[in-house]
Chain A
Amino acid sequence: MRDKNDFSEGTLALKNLLLEPPMENSLNIRWTFRHYFALFARLVLAAVFIYAAFGKINNPLIFAEEIRMYEILDLSPLLYIIAIVLPWVELLCGIAFITGIFIRGASFTLAIMNMGFIAVIAYRTLSIMNSGDTSFLNVFFDCGCGFGPTYAWKKLLEDTGLLGLSLILLFTREHRFVLLRLRK
């Protein structure tokens, strides 16, 4: 007769990846500043990226046009594929942060994406400055980030902040209110 705990090796590996150790009772353990900060960072990132994603998911054509404005990619299948996929990845990362599933994978994804955003926004800012003799603080455009047109310096600052939060989440171990916990 098969024992209930008789996991096959594959199942066990999956279980190790996802579930171990069992969830602690988050409320009975002392919360330190790090726990609060990690939760705060998760909620901020989740709110920002879920909001941004919803604006773009239903308008891939418009989002593609916004990406095209950067003059890095021409209209091509790649551009459309980015416009289709990127908002969904943002949404999934947001969900990951809220539920606490795959927090590290999500923060790594967002860290990489934010570095990319900062790079392309800086590139576009520079090209606008060169073409129009505008000073850095006056560069104003719609970055296609999902929040409408804004000053480039503000956007760069925001994205640097988001990048910082993602990196902190990537390296922190003090998570509370998570559905799945990785083995440390």
Chain B
Amino acid sequence: MRMRHTIIQMVVIWSIGIAVAFSYNAFSDKGINPFIKIVYEESMKTPVSEEGEGIVLIDLKQLRELSRDNMYILDASTEDDYREGHIPGAILFDFYQFETYADRVLPLIDPEGDIIVYCSSPFCDSSSFLATELYSMGYFNIYLYKDGFSNWQDKGLPVEKGLQ
């Protein structure tokens, strides 16, 4: 009897948990669609151009090897962080004001071009969100520079300040 009650309680907890989790996920800004097709690739062995090949995680070395033509660097952090310093040539795209920046920045971007996304440090999450969001909008050549701006700065690379 005790065991049966324990199991029933557990089933109730899991059912409520699953129900609440999916409802919350459906309404939250940071909710994710579990069935979205995103494939992270650790290496750059294939040029990513075809639909569905995935977001590519790159490190600093790979970032510097990327060709400069038709490449866009997006800084997913906030305006204040961006003003304090960003990778030269990076365009501000604050993920948490997606609508505003989508209207402002996306018209400038060639969907066929390479898009590099980063934010302030390896621990910030806006770059991953922005990469996923853009990917689901049909920008398939996305590179995620996960180590972020702090890594760029630590290596003594040039930094640009202020709004462009």
Contacts and interface: CB of A to CB of B under 8 A. Distances in A.
Interface stretch (A104-112, A115-123, A128-136): A104-112
Interface size class of A (residues with CB under 8 A): 20 to 34
Nearest to B14: A89
Interface string B126-155: 001100100000000000000000000000
Contact of B13 (A17, A80, A96): A96
B129 A88 contact: no
A84 B25 contact: yes
A62 B128 contact: yes
B102 interface: no
Interface size class of B (residues with CB under 8 A): 20 to 34
A60 B6 CA distance: 29
B27 interface: no
Given A61-B132, A62-B128, A88 B30 contact: no
B63 interface: no
B5 A17 contact: yes
A41 interface: no
Interface in B1-27: 2, 5-14, 16-18, 20-22, 24-25
Contacts of A83: 32
Nearest to A87: B21
Nearest to B146: A65
A24 to B, nearest CB: 19
B21 A84 contact: yes
Contacts of A92: 13, 16-17, 20
A136 to B, nearest CB: 25
Nearest to B55: A75
A10 B36 CA distance: 42
A59 interface: yes
Given A61-B32, A61-B129, A80-B32, A75 B39 contact: yes
B8 A93 contact: no
A157 interface: no
A88 B35 contact: no
Given A58-B28, A60-B32, A104-B5, A88 B10 contact: no
Given A85-B17, A85-B18, 20 more contacts: A17-B8, A61-B32, A65-B128, A75-B39, A80-B36, A83-B32, A84-B31, A85-B22, A89-B18, A91-B17, A96-B13, A104-B5, A104-B6, A104-B9, A105-B7, A105-B11, A105-B12, A106-B13, A108-B7, A182-B5
Interface of B: 2, 5-14, 16-18, 20-22, 24-25, 28, 30-36, 38-40, 125, 128-129, 132
16 contacts: A57-B24, A58-B28, A61-B32, A61-B129, A75-B38, A75-B40, A84-B32, A85-B17, A85-B22, A89-B13, A92-B13, A93-B13, A104-B5, A105-B6, A108-B7, A182-B5
Interface of A: 17, 57-62, 64-65, 68, 75, 77, 80-81, 83-85, 87-89, 91-93, 96, 102, 104-106, 108-109, 170, 182
